[in-house]
Homo-oligomer: A and B are copies of this chain.
Amino acid sequence: MMGDSSPKTPLDLVCPIPIQEYPQVLLAHGGGGSLMQQLIQKMFLPSFNNPALEMLGDGALLDRPDGQLAFTTDSYVVHPLFFPGGDIGSMAVNGTVNDLAMCGARPMYLSAGFILEEGLPMETLWRVVRSMADAANKAGVALVTGDTKVVDRGKGDGVFINTAGVGEVVASRPVAPASIRPGDIILVNGDVGRHGIAIMAQREGLAFETTIQSDCAPLAELVLALLDAEIEIHCLRDLTRGGLAAALVEIAEKAQRQINIRESDIPVNQEVQAACEILGFDPIYVANEGRFVAFVRPEHAERALELMRAHPLGASSAIIGQVEDAASGLVTFSSRIGATRVIDLLSGEQLPRIC
The reply to whether A287 and B32 form a contact with Cβ atoms under 8 Å apart is: yes
Q: Which residues of B contact A75 (CB under 8 A)?
A: 113-115, 147, 149, 162
CA distance A105 to B145 in the complex (A): 15
Residue A60 is within 8 A (CB to CB) of chain B in the complex: yes
Residue A28 is within 8 A (CB to CB) of chain B in the complex: yes
Q: Which of B56, B152, B157, B238 contacts A155 (CB 8 A)?
A: B157
Residue A273 is within 8 A (CB to CB) of chain B in the complex: no
The reply to whether B100 and A352 form a contact with Cβ atoms under 8 Å apart is: no
Residue A37 is within 8 A (CB to CB) of chain B in the complex: yes
Output the nearest chain B residue to A99 by Cβ-Cβ distance. Answer: B58
CA distance A199 to B30 in the complex (A): 17
When each residue 34-71 of chain A gets 1 if its CB lies under 8 Å from chain B and 0 otherwise, what string results? 11110000000000000000011111111111111111
Q: Which residues of B contact A32 (CB under 8 A)?
A: 240-243, 246, 287, 345, 348-349
Residue A112 is within 8 A (CB to CB) of chain B in the complex: yes
The reply to whether A73 and B164 form a contact with Cβ atoms under 8 Å apart is: yes
The reply to whether B71 and A145 form a contact with Cβ atoms under 8 Å apart is: yes
Interface residues on A, range: 35 or more
Q: Which residues of B contact A64 (CB under 8 A)?
A: 64-69
Q: Which residues of B contact A233 (CB under 8 A)?
A: none
* Known pairs A115-B160, A149-B77, A157-B155; A31 contacts B61 (CB<8 A): no
CA distance A57 to B29 in the complex (A): 36
The reply to whether B73 and A27 form a contact with Cβ atoms under 8 Å apart is: no
Q: Which residues of B contact A66 (CB under 8 A)?
A: 64
When each residue 237-254 of chain A gets 1 if its CB lies under 8 Å from chain B and 0 otherwise, what string results? 110111100100010001
Interface residues of A in 70-96 (CB under 8 A from B): 70-77, 79
The reply to whether B73 and A145 form a contact with Cβ atoms under 8 Å apart is: yes
CA distance A60 to B68 in the complex (A): 10
The reply to whether B349 and A28 form a contact with Cβ atoms under 8 Å apart is: yes
* Known pairs A77-B115, A347-B28; A59 contacts B72 (CB<8 A): yes
Q: Which residues of B contact A241 (CB under 8 A)?
A: 30-32, 36
The reply to whether A349 and B33 form a contact with Cβ atoms under 8 Å apart is: yes
The reply to whether A59 and B352 form a contact with Cβ atoms under 8 Å apart is: no
When each residue 215-258 of chain A gets 1 if its CB lies under 8 Å from chain B and 0 otherwise, what string results? 00000000000000000000011101111001000100010000
Query: Which of A30, A71, A254 has the largest number of chain B CB atoms within 10 A?
Result: A71
Interface residues of A in 127-159 (CB under 8 A from B): 144-147, 149-152, 154-157
Residue A275 is within 8 A (CB to CB) of chain B in the complex: no
Interface residues of A in 104-119 (CB under 8 A from B): 105, 109, 111-115
Interface residue ranges, A against B (CB under 8 Å): 26-37, 55-77, 79, 98-100, 102-103, 105, 109, 111-115, 144-147, 149-152, 154-157, 160, 162, 164-167, 169, 176, 236-238, 240-243, 246, 250, 254, 287, 344-349, 352-353, 355
Question: Could you list 16 A-B pairs, sorted by A, with CB under 8 Å?
Answer: A27-B348, A28-B347, A30-B352, A31-B242, A31-B346, A32-B348, A33-B242, A33-B246, A34-B347, A37-B250, A57-B102, A58-B72, A58-B98, A58-B103, A58-B236, A155-B157
Q: Which 7 A-B pairs have the closest CB atoms?
A: A28-B348, A32-B241, A59-B72, A31-B349, A31-B348, A32-B242, A164-B164
